[in-house]
Structure 1
Amino acid sequence: MLAFSPSFSKDAQKLFIFNWSYYIKPSIIKKFEEEYKVDVVRSHYNSMPALFSKLRAGGASQYDIVVPSNYYVPRMVKSGLLQKLDHSQIPNLDNLKTRFRDLKYDPHNKYTVPYQWGTTGIAYNTEDLSNVPKSWSIIFDPSVNSKNPFSVALDGQVMLGVACAYQGNDYSCTGRKKWKQAGKLLLNSKNRPNFNGFVAGTRTLRQLARGNLDAGMTYNGDYVHAKSEDSQGFANIEYIIPKEGAELWVDNMAIPVNAPHPKLAHKFINFILKAEIGAELSNYNYYATPNKLSQPMLRDVLREPPITPTSSQMKRLHLTPSLRGGQLHFVSQLWTEIKSN
């Protein structure tokens, strides 16, 4: 899907952005266009594999800005798909909170700058599933949920991570033995009569509101956004970060290695890091901002759980590990087997 701005002539410089759908407020794009007298051309993807495949198929020379999730960043760097950032062109980098600098997946922010962050947890119907523990047992334990329909996420690494956490291992566990144990648990859950499929987070929320699901996995920002627009439909729907641990994710701005307009791309990254722009972005998509100067301008709902986790919740949130080589091949093959059996 493409969106073109009609504000400037066909000879105006263009910035090509490849991002998730509905992840940036149109007025932010318009402000950037007006400030720099450019046209912004946007296209969208719906998964990290789709972004990765597109860049490897030539997209690294077609786009100026991409927004990969944390665990795909090392894979993209290793594949030569991203260029190093020139920090001298991003003075607003100083606006980042300390916790979002020098993260393990990109030491010293050489290739990426955090854009938004959030969590992946469980949304469930508290009326149909009353008095259940705030645990992954809602999905994995038949004695807790034997008849109410539930779904799980589409991402294999995330699902293996939550299964590892439920089994007493860390969410970010690695190793074939632990992955095999997690895979067996997932396969058993998938083959239960009340399993309702592998469902994307936004679709999960729609099905919960319609009563087609009683539990499923989704993202905290999508949940709060949906509830704000349909308070009645979500009156009995609660979002939790399970006690065993869950995913904390960070989406990042990056510049492909052969981006046609790298200087303009740096300007865009710096623009997003403005305090007022960071706040406008989060107030639009309901996800947490990594920008410390944006905090006073945020909606009240963004300053509290589930958008801003408590300190105790933060202790049980983990980044999904980045895999490559034999580990990546093993997990991909295992996930294919789980879905097909």
Structure 2
Amino acid sequence: MKLKKFAAAVSAALMLAVFTAAPALAADEIEVNEDISVSGDYDWTRFANDHITLNVYNNGLYISDGSDDSVNVVSAFEDLTGIKVNYTTYDSNESLYAKLKSGGVSYDVIFPSDYMVGKMINEGMLAELDMDNIPNIAGVGETYLDRSFDPGNKYSVPYMWGTTGLIYNTTMVEEPPTKWADMWDVEYTNNVLMFNNSRDAYAIAAKVAGLSMNPQSVDEITAITEKLKEQKNIVQAYVMDEVFDKMEGGEAAMAPYYAGDAITMIDENPDLAFVHPEEGVNFFIDNMCVPANAKHKEAAEMFINYMCETSIGLANCDFIGYSTPLTAVWEELDDDLKYSEIAYPSQEVLDKAEVFNTLPDDINAAMDAQWSEMKSYEEGGNGWMVVVMLLVAIAISAFNIWRKLRKKSRDNY
């Protein structure tokens, strides 16, 4: 995710609300810098002399990183704890899973979405957390805890939440889109972007086909794949981070993406707007977890606890525009963000939303295989392509035969 700062006016008001809400720093808080204060009841320096480097693997710049006058929360953590952080990024849950599954890598903190947490738990890829090291989980709203992907939150702590939706350029569409099905309208051929990850793309196509975002059989996967094939010639590109440049630059009429990132794009290009399609959207919770092979589990739990501090959560929400599960952070938000229909949609939208379940292995395997097939599919062109390739092969073979006969003729001569 190419994540940028929320509107400057909102940011200024937000930071004012955060840092002037109390007349003085509470006695039980530690001031890290002019922007960050943390609980004084937690031993933040117990690893200060251990020369630890934490490997943190996150989804894009999904954190306040100091750019655009934002707060650098990683740097503040290093100053507070004496722990160094090696912060690297991936572009999707599937990329994260593939990297960890391949072995040979060791991360201490990762940020998978709900369904991927469930998958990793089932495959023994996550460590059970010691919540004595993460007391700030008490600040997470009940709505985001004890979900089906991790009952009791033994393996995960909520980080951010959000919904998917459709971002569109008001100058490039005749009528504002209201449905996912509008992405299949031939009027927008070569002007539609689509998710470049199987789970989100299949979820959208499933709703267009009248199915659940959680396929129940391989047959349903096949039906959804056919719906994606119907869209293939309309799609300009399958994107993840690339969506920012394309939509902000007016290179496409519409694209599905995450609500938090839509705020960022609209801030960059006021011609853009956002809608929650009427068929229903995905409601997701992104989480902080510790891989089973982490080298510094306790320090990783300290980092997770730090990310749940109010000042840190506030800085992150301000910068990335995503929705917070931390009650105290939401209460401190500026009204423009707190009551944003994009970041905090109506109950009507949430009532129609679906959460991604952890799918059975056979359905996951079918989705992976058919996604690859769909990406290489060319509607109406496959037959001609085969013919062309066959003719090329025949021509090459004939040329080689002719060359050999000619050489033999010369040798005989």
TM-score (normalizing by structure 1):
0.89
Which residue, 47, 51, 54 being the options, matches 2:92? 47
Identify the residue that residue 363 of structure 2 maps to in structure 1.
327
1:119 counterpart letter in structure 2: T
1:189 corresponds to 2:231: yes
Shift of 1:171: 2.7
Shift of 1:130: 2.5
Shift of 1:12: 2.4
Identify the residue that residue 4 of structure 1 maps to in structure 2.
none
The count of aligned residue pairs is 324
Unaligned runs of 5+ in 1: 1-7
Identify the residue that residue 256 of structure 1 maps to in structure 2.
291
Larger radius of gyration: 2
Which residue, 370, 373, 395 being the options, matches 1:337? 373
CA RMSD of aligned residues (A): 2.1
1:217 corresponds to 2:252: no
1:34 counterpart letter in structure 2: D
Listed as ranges, the matches of 1:139-288 within 5 Å are 139-142=183-186, 145-147=187-189, 149-191=191-233, 194-200=234-240, 202-228=241-267, 230=268, 234-288=269-323
CA distance in 2, matches of 1:311, 1:253: 26
TM-score (normalizing by structure 2):
0.74
Asked if structure 1 preserves the Cα contact closer than 8 Å seen for 2:116 and 2:358, the reply is yes
Shift of 1:132: 4.1
Shift of 1:134: 0.6
Asked if structure 1 preserves the Cα contact closer than 8 Å seen for 2:137 and 2:305, the reply is yes
1:307 corresponds to 2:343: yes
Shift of 1:68: 1.0
Shift of 1:178: 2.5
2:244 counterpart letter in structure 1: L
Asked if structure 2 preserves the Cα contact closer than 8 Å seen for 1:288 and 1:302, the reply is no
CA distance in 2, matches of 1:244, 1:176: 22
Shift of 1:278: 1.0
CA distance in 1, matches of 2:82, 2:51: 7
The structure-2 alpha-carbon separation of the partners of 1:53 and 1:226, relative to structure 1 and needing over 3 Å to count, comes to same
Shift of 1:139: 0.7
The structure-2 alpha-carbon separation of the partners of 1:171 and 1:325, relative to structure 1 and needing over 3 Å to count, comes to closer
1:134 counterpart letter in structure 2: T
Identify the residue that residue 57 of structure 1 maps to in structure 2.
102
Identify the residue that residue 352 of structure 2 maps to in structure 1.
316
2:107 counterpart letter in structure 1: Y
Asked if structure 2 preserves the Cα contact closer than 8 Å seen for 1:123 and 1:217, the reply is yes
The structure-2 alpha-carbon separation of the partners of 1:41 and 1:139, relative to structure 1 and needing over 3 Å to count, comes to same
The range that moved more, 289-298 or 123-132, is 123-132
CA distance in 2, matches of 1:340, 1:108: 42
Shift of 1:169: 2.3
Which residue, 21, 37, 51 being the options, matches 2:60? 21
Shift of 1:218: 1.6
Asked if structure 1 preserves the Cα contact closer than 8 Å seen for 2:179 and 2:279, the reply is yes
2:350 counterpart letter in structure 1: M
CA distance in 1, matches of 2:296, 2:134: 15
Unaligned runs of 5+ in 2: 1-46, 66-71, 378-413
Please list the CA deviations of residues 275-317 of structure 1 after superposition, one character each: whole Å capped at 9, or x if unmatched.
2211111111111111111112224333111011111111122
Shift of 1:85: 0.7
Identify the residue that residue 169 of structure 2 maps to in structure 1.
125
Shift of 1:157: 1.9
Percent identity of the aligned residues?
A: 27
Regions of 4+ moved over 4 Å: 8-11
Asked if structure 2 preserves the Cα contact closer than 8 Å seen for 1:286 and 1:307, the reply is yes
Give the secondary structure class of the aligned counterpart of 1:318: coil
Identify the residue that residue 69 of structure 2 maps to in structure 1.
none
CA distance in 2, matches of 1:274, 1:10: 23
CA distance in 2, matches of 1:123, 1:295: 24
1:33 corresponds to 2:78: yes
Please list the CA deviations of residues 11-68 of structure 1 after superposition, one character each: whole Å capped at 9, or x if unmatched.
72222211122111232112221221221121222222222222223356x2211111
Identify the residue that residue 179 of structure 2 maps to in structure 1.
135
CA distance in 1, matches of 2:53, 2:176: 52
Which residue, 143, 159, 165 being the options, matches 1:99? 143
